[in-house]
Amino acid sequence: MNFQPQIASAAREAARITAAVTPGQLSGPTPCPDYDTRALANHLVAYTGIGMELRARREPHPDDLAGRDFTADPDWAAEYAAQLDRSVAAWADPAAWEGEIGTGEGAMPADATAGMLFLELTLHAWDLARATGQDYRADEETAALLLTVVREQAEMYRRYQGFGAPVTPPEGARDLELAVALSGRDPYWGA
């Protein structure tokens, strides 16, 4: 299943959110207990910016990718937005959705890999938005896809400590809030 339009939508939202992050916010807490705002922003850049393009192109990740402090560059958010554009363009190629993609520990179908990257992009952009006092805006199709992917991958993410225990969603929760709650995040978390 090709869901490149939802990846593009999520990428635009991630770029909007990162553009509003100030240097003074980089040491603050996030909904992810293992990350402060700087570590979360660096994770976003490494895996949902650079990593997303590399996976689509079937290229290996550089060894030093995870250890870089991208936020040390004053233009990090603009560079991330440009990288997201390249990532979205890479996934616009129909060949990106064919076959399998190596994950470092094996291979997965391309659409499953894209689903993981989409999940990382949307949830961590949501985390960054909450950590910096912003709202995350998702159109209905993007939120519905996120909920579907979270439902499909929640148990695997929990096995690897990527998700906490599900949180009871608020009454009348929409797809975005349901996905956030299912991933173990409090939909109303605030810094």
- pLDDT tens for each residue of 10-62: 999 999 999 999 999 999 999 998 899 999 999 999 999 999 999 999 998 88
29 phi/psi in degrees, rounded to 5 = -75, 165
Q: Read off the pLDDT of residues 104-138 as tens digits, 9 standing for 90 and up.
A: 778 999 999 999 999 999 999 999 999 999 999 99
Percent of the chain with pLDDT over 70: 99
Per-residue pLDDT band for 191 (boundaries 50, 70, 90) equals: low
Sign of CA dihedral 108, 112, 113, 114: positive
**pTM for the whole structure:** 0.95
Q: Largest Cα–Cα distance in the chain?
A: 44
**What are the φ/ψ torsions at residue 2 (nearest 5 degrees)?**
-95, 115
Give the type of residue at 40. L
Q: Which domains does the chain have, with CATH numbers?
A: 4-137 (1.20.120.450)
